[in-house]
């Protein structure tokens, strides 16, 4: 395997819009297999979720599914919380949803993030306060009215991850090795 820093189209997260910049990508010299080094996957998924929640356009179906899974809900639990059915959730996850449901999904994500930030003695994320998070989501909710569903490209760098990382030793080493 030979390693080289580069860009990786991170479809493994279930979205087609996520690109990791400046990550180590290993290629097998014999079979041409490609294996990226995914830095701090838990924090990476939080960065992706935060970017999705703060986007100005309506959520796409894939983004609805990503946020549902990120929050740890099955389709049935999600439907129950949103007062809907699993068939409607399935439709949202294919085509996106209307602005009212979009806002509710973002607020549900916000609730889960607040629960995570407040409920841990050693928060996984640093540089994120409840007040800041609520303010950013509030501002986003004001901007999304009347916007189309678009899947914006999400470029994520090692700096984006390290900025939010609580930086336990092993995460710090991973991020340092990438930079």
Q: What is the spatial distance between Cα 1 and Cα 24, in angstroms, rounded to a whole number? A: 11
- The reply to whether 175 falls in a domain is no
Say which range, 106-110, 132-136, 153-157, 163-167, has the weakest mean pLDDT. Answer: 163-167
Residues 123, 63, 160, 54, CA torsion sign: negative
How many domains does the structure of the chain reveal?
1
Three-state secondary-structure class, residue 142? helix
Say which range, 15-19, 92-96, 107-111, has the weakest mean pLDDT. Answer: 107-111
pLDDT digits (tens, 9 = 90+) for 37-96: 987 888 899 999 999 998 888 999 999 999 999 999 999 999 999 999 999 999 999 999
| CA neighbor of 59 nearest in space, from 20, 88, 101 | 101
Q: What is the spatial distance between Cα 100 and Cα 175, in angstroms, rounded to a whole number? A: 38
- The reply to whether 82 falls in a domain is yes
pLDDT of residue 118: 76
Three-state secondary-structure class, residue 90? helix
pLDDT band per the 50, 70, 90 thresholds, residue 173:
very low
pLDDT of residue 95: 93
CA angle 46, 51, 54 (to 5 degrees): 120
Is pLDDT at 172 greater than 60 in this prediction? Answer: no
CB within 8 Å of 94: residues ≥ 6 apart: 61
Is pLDDT at 174 greater than 60 in this prediction? Answer: no
- Angle in degrees, 0-180, between the axes of helices 61-70 and 86-95, rounded to the nearest 10: 120
CB within 8 Å of 108: residues ≥ 6 apart: 67, 71, 81, 82
- The reply to whether 91 falls in a domain is yes
Q: Which domain holds residue 53?
A: 2-165
Give burial (CB, 10 Å; 0-12/13-18/19+) of 78: buried
Q: What is the spatial distance between Cα 165 and Cα 7, in angstroms, rounded to a whole number? A: 21
In terms of phi and psi (left: phi > 0; alpha: psi -120 to 50; beta: otherwise), the region of 129 is beta
pLDDT digits (tens, 9 = 90+) for 111-148: 888 887 776 666 556 667 777 777 787 777 777 655 56
pLDDT of residue 15: 95
* Mean pLDDT across 164-174: 47
pTM: 0.77
Say which range, 25-34, 92-101, 118-127, has the weakest mean pLDDT. Answer: 118-127
């Amino acid at each position: 395997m030979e390693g080289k820093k580069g860009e990786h189209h991170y479809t493994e997260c279930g979205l087609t819009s996520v690109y990791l910049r400046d990550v180590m990508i290993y290629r097998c010299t014999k079979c041409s297999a490609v294996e990226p080094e995914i830095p701090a996957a838990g924090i990476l998924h939080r960065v992706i979720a935060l970017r999705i929640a703060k986007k100005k356009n309506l959520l796409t179906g894939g983004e609805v599914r990503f946020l549902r899974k990120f929050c740890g809900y099955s389709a049935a639990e999600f439907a129950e919380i949103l007062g809907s059915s699993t068939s409607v959730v399935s439709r949202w996850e294919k085509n996106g949803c209307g602005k009212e449901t979009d806002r509710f999904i973002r607020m549900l994500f916000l609730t889960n993030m607040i629960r995570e930030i407040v409920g841990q003695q050693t928060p996984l994320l640093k540089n994120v306060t409840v007040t800041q998070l609520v303010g950013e989501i509030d501002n986003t909710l004001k901007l999304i009215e009347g916007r189309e569903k678009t899947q914006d490209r999400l470029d994520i760098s090692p700096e984006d991850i390290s900025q939010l990382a609580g930086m336990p030793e092993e995460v710090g080493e991973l991020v340092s090795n990438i930079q």
